[in-house]
Amino acid sequence: MRDPARSDSSGVDTLELKPRATRNGMLVRTERGWRLGIRAGGSGQYRLAQLDDHSGRPRANLIWRPPFTVSLRARVSSASLPGTWGFGLWNDPFALGCGPARERRRLPALPQAAWLFSASARSQLSLRDDKPGNGFFAQACMSERVGVWLVPVVLSFPFSPRNSRRILSRHIHQDAAQVDSDPCVWHHYELRWLHESTEFWIDGQQLFRSAVCPRPPLGVVIWIDNQYAAFDTRGRIAWGVESIPEDAWLEVEQLSCGSRPAAP
């Protein structure tokens, strides 16, 4: 299935998004976009609804490079949803998709991402103690190329996860800012991935600009799920799925992507 494809002189590129969902995930076309939902239920089952353009592609063949802009309007059913939801760009580093078995699985990679991300309180998704790792935040992430620096991470991890986290924080560069606006109300979000910086805008106002810039190529992703993950300041690791007390959804509309950034 194809999301509306757009191509015109303003620099908007063709965007093909594949809908993907688990058994208790829902994707519904709306008049101007999509509603992605997950059904209420216990913590024994992973739930996901996702739109992306990276499924089934080798990571080297992902489509997008800077300068590139993602623009959309979005709202969610609750400001305190379990699990995670968001939209933006990434390299699908862990290849944790739910697509058909025939899809080729990619080996894990270090993360590259620029997105608006919401994670419940059980998550801790920042390697920096001074940056948000849960709640609703804008984040840019750039990992250095794999090198000998990864050896002490692997060797020390079983004995000192805290030390491994410290080493990773030097080579996986993250920057983030909390988003204070109510996500249950329609807002216009814009992400500008440039050659030397990443910018996040909400309702025409710049929220955050960072010199952290993910390495290309990347793919577009929009999702909602009931997963949490944490790698906290003490080196403690946690991962799992959360119960969903009532149906949850993320609605997006007026989605467009451009090969050059919009004017300030």
* Closest CA relative to residue 142, chosen from 222, 195, 62, 214: 214
Look at residue 98 in the predicted model and tell me its pLDDT. Answer: 44
The gap between the terminal CA atoms of the chain, to the nearest Å, is 33
DSSP-derived secondary structure for 57-123: S-GGG--B-SSEEEEEEEEES-TT-SSEEEEEEE--TT------TTSPPPPP---EEEEEEEE-TT-
Token couple for 258: 């451009």
Look at residue 182 in the predicted model and tell me its pLDDT. Answer: 97
Look at residue 10 in the predicted model and tell me its pLDDT. Answer: 35
Report which of residues 12 and 176 the model is more confident about: 176
pLDDT above 50: residue 85: yes
**What are the tens digits of pLDDT across the range 150-178?**
777 676 777 688 888 888 888 999 999 99
pLDDT above 80: residue 6: no
Distance CA 138, CA 197 (A): 14
Token couple for 124: 């801790």
* Region of poorest pLDDT, from 15-19, 158-162, 163-167, 182-186: 158-162
Look at residue 100 in the predicted model and tell me its pLDDT. Answer: 40
pLDDT above 70: residue 8: no
Give the mean pLDDT of the chain.
Answer: 87
Q: Taking residues 58-77, report their average pLDDT.
A: 95
Look at residue 14 in the predicted model and tell me its pLDDT. Answer: 56
Look at residue 105 in the predicted model and tell me its pLDDT. Answer: 59
Taking residue 119's Cβ as centre, other Cβ atoms within 10 Å add up to 25
Break the chain into its structural domains and give their ranges: 18-258
3-state SS, residue 203: coil
Using alpha carbons only, give the angle 31, 20, 57 rounded to the nearest 5 degrees.
115
Q: pLDDT band for position 258 (50/70/90)?
A: confident
**Residue bearing tokens 């060797």:** 155
Cβ–Cβ under 8 Å, residues 93 and 214: no
**What are the tens digits of pLDDT across the range 30-45?**
999 999 999 999 998 9
Q: Taking residues 57-71, report their average pLDDT.
A: 93
Q: What are phi and psi of 227, to 5 degrees?
A: -95, 150
Cβ–Cβ under 8 Å, residues 219 and 92: yes
Distance CA 230, CA 235 (A): 9
Whether the bond into 67 is cis, omega within 30 of 0: yes
Look at residue 135 in the predicted model and tell me its pLDDT. Answer: 97
Token couple for 147: 């090198």
Question: 55-59, 101-105, 138-142 — which one is most confidently predicted on average?
Answer: 138-142
* b/e burial code for range 191-216 (CB count within 10 A of at least 16 → b): bbbbeeebbbbbeeeebbbbebbbeb
Residues paired with residue 12 on neighbouring β-strands, in sequence order: 258
Q: 18-258 in CATH: which number?
A: 2.60.120.200
Q: In Å, what is the CA distance from 173 to each residue of 123, 145, 168, 176, 215?
A: 19, 12, 9, 10, 11
**What are the tens digits of pLDDT across the range 198-236?**
999 999 999 999 999 999 999 999 999 999 999 888 778
